[in-house]
């Protein structure tokens, strides 16, 4: 019997560290380090995630065939040195701060990794592979996709030199066809506006995307902002490649994203301070950069189509998490089908690195299943059983009821949801990637007036303008949405059906006034532009969540629930039953369901404040 080939993929030392494990080309487990350490976007060596994926497979470190790291540190160091040299004397302070860390750790990455492996119990030196950053992204998108061949588009901030690539995948092979290089980056352009509008880079981009529909599409100011972006900040070529005017950006050598005085003069406004009031000019600027980003991504997709001739497109990289831009590509009908990696950011690079080692470095043939991806609904993280739940109950004196009949449990939970209760829902394996897809979710009735504001303010503790995603039975999605494709990973936005909309859209109203406008028959998931970031729930991928939705439909006639990630502001999505309990107790959720256990808030004793971690902004 042939020995199994076991490959560990790692991403680390920038943000969203993660580990992924494949055995003979099949993915076994993957998870972000933040879920274990409870440090949002943890960049550290993913020791806890590695321990988990090895335990999930039931193997020791020394049984690994190889380890793959998601980029080439020496090539990234080359880019750093050449960039500082090109911009001398700008960035001298940043250079002095960066060099000690690079010389101590990152330049000597092999030694650093082997030292970390020894701390985990490794006694042998298994081979190390270092695929380039964007090749890791491309591999993460193509190899688990349901396509035998596909165009591959990867767009993010920056890897080593590349910021955008167009590749072609067929069988086990990936060819890089086009590459855009630093500092000209669609991802860093979007991040610069994230910074200027007062949100945190590498996490606030979702906020910028959510804010953009509040802009006044036909306003003179919005059009003027867009013109200034295109005339002064970025030159977009026909093929989607861009040139940034680096007189206006400081990310190449500085400690911040923008040359702020120049931006303030250009746009006629001061940089918004974090947590300060959001004015209409901020919304209009958000809309303008979102439109520009959509133009870039769509042009890149057209180029990918033209140079590959493929009927299929796969996408990865941080910009592939921009569901609005993705939807523009989908709606352009350039490709017959599009598949986007659910952990499209750097966390997914761990998976791509492992795949690249298997298929490219080792030359192994690819197995694929037409019409089905191989990511198992992205449910690749830890699961916890009744013993873990009972241990949590004992530790925190949690009062819960066990339901032996799962169908009866879903009927009970559906009834509570229909009464306007908010439920924390924790089942089976944790999702890989930023989206909760029904295993680590907060759920509520989408048709209830005021539910959107209640969850944002009293449960998520986040900005009122942030929208919520609907999770709908896949077979019923067309009853509510103008849907053209499945969306199991919540990476596309789709218009609510016109027959369900209320025509009271008022772009002259204030942000607060618009938040309380009733835009449709399902107001809690209908964004200000009548869109929704849709999750189609498939019985084969998420059977328990599907069963709950089916029960809710039976009781209410509605096949849909609000589905938002089970976390509070500034914290990662919950991983363990204890994480779920603490999040439940520090919010105003009404019920918590972990496996077959149900916890009602009114039965619980308040916990002392020292039990809870300190809130951090995000």
Check whether 518 has a pLDDT greater than 90: no
Q: Can you give the pLDDT at residue 103? A: 54
Q: Which of 53, 47, 30, 141 shows the shortest CA–CA distance to 379?
A: 30
Q: Can you give the pLDDT at residue 104? A: 57
CA distance 599 to 604: 8
Check whether 617 has a pLDDT greater than 60: no
CA torsion, points 377, 410, 533, 368, in degrees to nearest 10? 20
CA torsion, points 259, 261, 262, 268, in degrees to nearest 10? 130
Counting other chains too, the contacts that 219-228 makes at CB distance below 8 Å and 24 or more residues apart are: 219/284, 219/507, 221/280, 221/281, 221/284, 222/284, 222/287, 222/288, 225/267, 225/284, 225/285, 225/287, 225/288, 225/289, 226/288, 226/291, 226/292, 228/266, 228/267
**Burial bucket for residue 234 (CB in 10 Å: 0-12, 13-18, 19+):** buried
Query: In this structure, are residues 483 and 497 in contact, taking their beta carbons and an 8 Å threshold?
Result: no
CA distance 309 to 509: 46
CA distance 90 to 63: 48
Residue range 262-277: mean pLDDT, rounded = 96
Q: Which two tokens stand for residue 153?
A: 């588009």
CA distance 316 to 138: 7
Check whether 85 has a pLDDT greater than 60: no
Q: Which two tokens stand for residue 589?
A: 């959720």
**Burial bucket for residue 596 (CB in 10 Å: 0-12, 13-18, 19+):** middle
**Distinct helix (H) and strand (E) counts, the chain:** 19, 21
Strand partners, 6: 23
CA distance 379 to 77: 35
Query: In this structure, are residues 293 and 205 in contact, taking their beta carbons and an 8 Å threshold?
Result: no
CA distance 511 to 278: 8
Q: Which of 246-255, 376-385, 425-434 has the lowest mean pLDDT?
A: 246-255
Q: Which of 251-260, 292-301, 377-386, 480-489 has the lowest mean pLDDT?
A: 251-260
Whether residue 89 is preceded by a cis peptide bond, meaning omega within 30 degrees of 0, is yes
Q: Where are the alpha helices (DSSP H) in 336-450?
A: 346-356, 386-396, 406-418
Residues 134-188 have pLDDT tens digits of 999 999 999 999 999 999 999 999 999 999 999 999 999 999 999 999 999 999 9
How many CB atoms sit inside 10 A of residue 141's CB?
A: 30
Query: In this structure, are residues 176 and 304 in contact, taking their beta carbons and an 8 Å threshold?
Result: no
Domains of the chain from N-terminus onward = 6-131 (3.30.420.40), 181-339 (3.30.420.40), 386-611 (3.90.870.20)
CA distance 94 to 80: 11
Per the confidence metrics, is the pTM higher than 0.85?
yes
């Amino acid at each position: 019997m042939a020995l199994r080939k076991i490959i560990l993929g790692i991403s680390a030392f920038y943000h969203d560290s993660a580990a992924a494990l494949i055995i003979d080309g099949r993915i076994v487990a993957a998870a972000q380090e933040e879920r274990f350490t409870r440090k949002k976007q943890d960049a550290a060596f993913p020791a806890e995630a590695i321990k988990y994926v090895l335990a999930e497979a039931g193997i020791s470190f020394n049984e690994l065939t190889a380890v793959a790291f998601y980029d080439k540190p020496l090539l990234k160091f080359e880019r750093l040195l050449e960039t500082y040299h090109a911009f001398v004397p700008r960035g001298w302070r940043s250079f002095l701060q960066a060099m000690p860390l690079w010389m101590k750790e990152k330049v000597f990455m092999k030694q650093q990794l082997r030292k970390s492996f020894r701390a985990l119990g490794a006694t042998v030196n298994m081979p190390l592979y270092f695929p380039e950053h964007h090749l890791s992204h491309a591999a993460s998108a193509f190899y688990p996709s349901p396509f035998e061949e596909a165009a591959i588009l990867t767009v993010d901030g920056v890897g080593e030199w590349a910021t955008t690539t167009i590749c072609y995948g067929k069988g086990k092979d990936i060819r890089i066809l086009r590459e855009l290089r630093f500092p000209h980056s669609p991802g860093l352009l979007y991040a610069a506006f994230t910074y200027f509008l007062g949100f945190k880079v590498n996490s606030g981009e979702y906020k910028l995307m959510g804010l953009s529909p509040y802009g006044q599409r036909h306003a003179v100011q919005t059009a003027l902002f867009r013109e200034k972006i295109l005339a002064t900040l970025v030159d977009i070529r026909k093929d989607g490649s861009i040139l940034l005017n680096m007189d206006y950006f400081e990310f190449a050598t500085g400690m911040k994203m923008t040359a702020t005085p120049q931006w303030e003069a250009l746009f006629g406004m001061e940089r918004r301070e974090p947590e300060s009031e959001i004015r209409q000019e901020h919304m209009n600027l958000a809309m303008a950069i979102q439109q520009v980003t959509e133009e870039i991504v769509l042009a890149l997709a057209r180029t990918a189509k033209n140079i590959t001739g493929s009927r299929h497109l796969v996408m990865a990289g941080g910009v592939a998490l921009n569901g609005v831009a993705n939807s523009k590509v989908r709606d352009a009908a350039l490709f017959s089908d599009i598949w986007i990696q659910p952990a499209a950011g750097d966390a997914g690079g761990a998976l791509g690195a492992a795949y690249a080692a298997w298929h490219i470095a080792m030359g192994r043939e690819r197995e694929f299943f037409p019409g089905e991806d191989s990511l198992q609904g992205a449910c690749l993280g830890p699961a916890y059983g009744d013993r873990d739940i009972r241990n949590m109950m004992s530790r925190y004196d949690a009062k819960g009821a066990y339901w032996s009949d799962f169908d009866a449990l879903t009927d009970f939970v559906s009834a509570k949801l229909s009464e306007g209760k908010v439920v924390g829902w924790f089942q089976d394996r944790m999702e890989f990637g930023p989206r909760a897809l029904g295993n680590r979710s907060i759920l509520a009735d989408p048709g209830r007036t005021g539910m959107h504001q209640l969850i944002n303010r009293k449960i998520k503790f986040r900005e009122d303008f942030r929208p919520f995603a609907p999770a709908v039975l896949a077979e019923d999605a067309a009853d509510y949405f103008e849907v053209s494709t499945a969306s199991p990973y919540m990476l596309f936005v789709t218009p609510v059906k016109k027959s369900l909309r209320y025509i009271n859209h008022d772009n002259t109203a204030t942000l607060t006034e618009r938040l309380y406008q009733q835009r449709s028959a399902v107001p809690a998931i209908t964004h200000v532009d009548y869109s929704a970031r849709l999750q189609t729930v498939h019985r084969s991928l998420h059977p328990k969540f599907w069963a709950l939705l089916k029960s809710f439909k039976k009781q209410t006639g509605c096949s849909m629930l609000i589905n938002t990630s089970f976390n509070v502001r500034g914290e990662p999505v919950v991983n363990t039953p204890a994480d779920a309990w603490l999040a439940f107790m520090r919010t105003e959720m009404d019920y918590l369901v972990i496996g077959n256990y149900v916890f009602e808030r009114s039965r619980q004793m308040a916990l002392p404040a020292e039990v809870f971690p300190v809130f951090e902004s995000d």
